[in-house]
Each structure stands twice: as C-alpha cells, then as structure tokens.
Structure 1
C-alpha cells in the first residue's frame, strides 16, 4: 500500500468531517501528501492537517463552498499550485437534509445536487486530463446505500448519490487504459456522520453485524480500493450486511 501511494498528492473534499478526516489520515500514513477541504469548520480540518504533518507528510487546508460552480476548479488549481499535481481525488464532501419527498423544494434539490454530484464531476473533469497524460490516477466517489435502496434522508439525497454511480460507470471504462481507476464506495450507518438515523444502543438495530460502522472502517476500505490498480468501475457497499448485493 505504501508503495502505491508514496509521494502522491491526494485531494480529499470534506476533510474536516469524521470520514474525510479518517481517509486523509490513512492516505498520509500510506505516504501521500494531502489537500483537504472544508466548508464551515476550519478548526477540525486544521487539526487533521496537523496530524498529517506529524506523520511526516505535507498538508494543505482549503476552504471550498462546493455549492458554487467555480469552487471545484479553484480547489484543484490551488492543490496544483502547492503540490504540483493531483494524483488521487476522493470526493467525500456531501450534504443531506432529511425531509419527506413532499417537503423537498427546488432550492434544496439544487443545493444537494450541486454539492453531492456536480462538484465531484467538475473536480473529476479538472484532474482527469493530467492523470491520463501521466498514466496514473485514482478517483473515488463517496456514495451511500441510499443510492441503491432510496434510503431515509430523502429523494434529493438518494438521487444525488445514484448520479455518482452513473458518472463512475461512464468514465471508468473510458480512462482505464490510461492507468486511471474510477470507483465508488457506498457506506451506510456510519457513526458520527450526522446521517445515522438509528440508536446504536437499540437492541433491534437493523445492522446484521450488530453495530454501526466507523469512520476508520470506511477509511480502511477506501485505502484498499485506491491501492488496487485492477479495481475499477465498481460500487463497493460497506454497510455491515444491510444490502445483499
């Protein structure tokens, strides 16, 4: 694993959150320099960056309002300016306000699509040409089981995450021959994310393994996916056995 990512530059959106922070630290432990973005919470992102530097890797923290169309390209430009190139893109940032379908208005729909689907596409479009020219690249989208079963957050969230699967399927086969992999991980019921609508102390918890997932569980699977050059065009579910795919 260390050989695969050593000396690479990884861009992780939503790096101030639990999952984004765990992914960022796992990449640094594997020898990558990390650019991590945040939208509202700079202090946690800086804390992750300090831990990355303590591991001997370089870190850059960037504010990025991914609701804005120009934020994606600006973030990639800033990462390149600091580290020269982006070898790994982990599109982790996401929003999800839980509402019934009757309550989802146009502004919320558009905001959810902008952050969860448009921003990953615009960042991918920004990094792909250089990845192809260098014949190396790793792109990973953070989806959700909601993309497969509809979930409980709402139609806006489920649709935005399902869109990532279509984006991945379109791109993966077209760039695989250039040494670029495009994959998606679809977690469910990860503790500490704000997207967990169950009580972990409930004896009737719906997770077959009997516990919620952790950010470290997600980071471990992300690292395995990013370091496997034969894995592309795949949605990997990580849900404790909920979804029988």
Structure 2
C-alpha cells in the first residue's frame, strides 16, 4: 500500500495537503505532529470522513533518534506499506530583528526546518531508493526566495531547504525519485493569524492571502504521474508578490 508522510500535518497547510493527497491519490496518510494531539486527530477524522484512511505518527522532526525510532518501528509493523510520498512541511517561526534575536530563536527555526528535513528524508528515502520510485515535496516559503525583514532565521532556513531540494534531486533522479519544493507567500493559517492582512494584501498583486487548499492542489500535482519529469524545481505560489 502506498503511503504519504506529511510532517506537521495537524493544522494549516499540512492538514490541507494531507486531505488533498488522500482524496486525489487514495494514499494512506501518516499524520505527523509534535504536540497537538487534538488537532492531529481532527485531521485524521476529516481524512476518514472523506473516504480515506491513515494513522497518527507523532515525533519531533528535529530529533534524529526520535524520528528514526518512530519510522523504523512503523516500517517494522507495516511490512505491506511503504512511504511513496514525503512532504516536509513542519516549520516554526520566531520572528524578530536579527540584532536582538536570541540564539534559541535561531536554533529552533533552523532545527525544525533544516535538521527536520535531513532527519525525516534520510529515513524515508531508503525505501524509495530500493523500490526505485518516490515523490518528495519540501514546503519552503517566499521568505527563502527573497528574504523578509524580521525573519532572518526563517529566511535562512527556507533558503537552505530550497538549495537542498535542488541538490538532492540530482542525486536520486536516476532512481525515479523526484524532489521539488513549493514556496508559498502569505497563506491564511495559524502561522499568519497575527499579521495585518488588510495592510499586507496591498503588497500582493492578487490583493488577497492565499488559501492552504491552493498550496495543497500544487503539492498534489507534484506527487502525481503528471509531474514525473519535474524535479529540482521550486514553484512559487504567492499571488504574484515575488514572480
């Protein structure tokens, strides 16, 4: 059975991606979350309500031992299933001006995004390499494409994800594994709820924030057979704010 592992799938973009991949591709969804069990259960319930299935797979992506223990145990208990699709979506923001930024805010943002990508991908890609098929989609950000003031840590983390995407794609293309990134702009979610949408949308040519479901549709295309010849790409989805 083909499965999709989505990190940070309890809310926002991660939840939307989980629902869309279950609906579009009939993938068995591994709903990863770090602490919000209630929200993760809601994601799984919604997947089942629309006719799909999956299970919860809690671990903190930034800790390699925790990631390996969770994924190795799951693989051992599910020999008939394999992770065909990996979406590295987990991320956090700790915004602030660089000159006053606590070291812990830099480390946490970098660890979740970049160390998390390393930990989860290195484990999940082993099955893909053996089976000679797989889809990896990394969720980057407009911040990683252009840099955003007050987000030096987040911009650095997402920029690293973009570069890693391009390099890894070249390493595994011969095994029919594609590696791409999506770079959302301002998307309505818990991560942006503190932002002044009325003010910020004036910067966006489309004059609105995007929806998590719109990002999910893009990810769904990238994991489909229709995108089999697309790899190493970063696709912006931002209403024209950075084009």
What is the deviation of 1:203?
8.6
Give distance in 2, aligned partners of 1:105 and 1:57.
43
Distance in structure 2 (CA, Å) of the matches to 1:50 and 1:85? 22
Alignment partners' CA distance in 1, 2:124 and 2:70: 11
Going by fraction, where is helix more abundant, 1 or 2? Answer: 2
Cα distance in 1 for residues equivalent to 2:182 and 2:74: 24
Measured in 2, the distance between the counterparts of 1:186 and 1:160 equals 12
Structure 2 residue 164 is matched with structure 1 residue 167? yes
CA RMSD in angstroms, aligned pairs only: 1.8
TM (norm. structure 1) is 0.91
1:211, distance to aligned residue in structure 2 (A): 0.8
Q: Which of 33, 40, 46 is matched with 2:35 structurally?
A: 40
How many residues matched?
Answer: 238
Cα 1:204–1:33 change in 2 (3 A) is closer
- Residues 60-99 of structure 1 correspond to what in structure 2 (within 5 A)? 60-80=55-75, 81-82=77-78, 84-99=81-96
8 A contact 2:61–2:117 mirrored in 1:
no
State the Cα distance separating 1:172 from its structure 2 match. 0.4
Equivalence for 1:9: 3
How far apart are the structure 1 equivalents of 2:191 and 2:216? 17
Aligned positions of 1:125-204 closer than 5 A: 125-195=122-192, 198-202=195-199
Q: Which runs of 5+ in 1 are unaligned?
A: 1-6
Which residue of structure 2 aligns with residue 24 of structure 1?
A: 18
Contact persistence 2:12–2:190 (CA under 8 A): yes
Residues 36 and 60 in structure 1, CA contact (< 8 A), matched pair in contact too: yes
Distance (Å, rounded) in 2 between the aligned partners of 1:208 and 1:74: 45
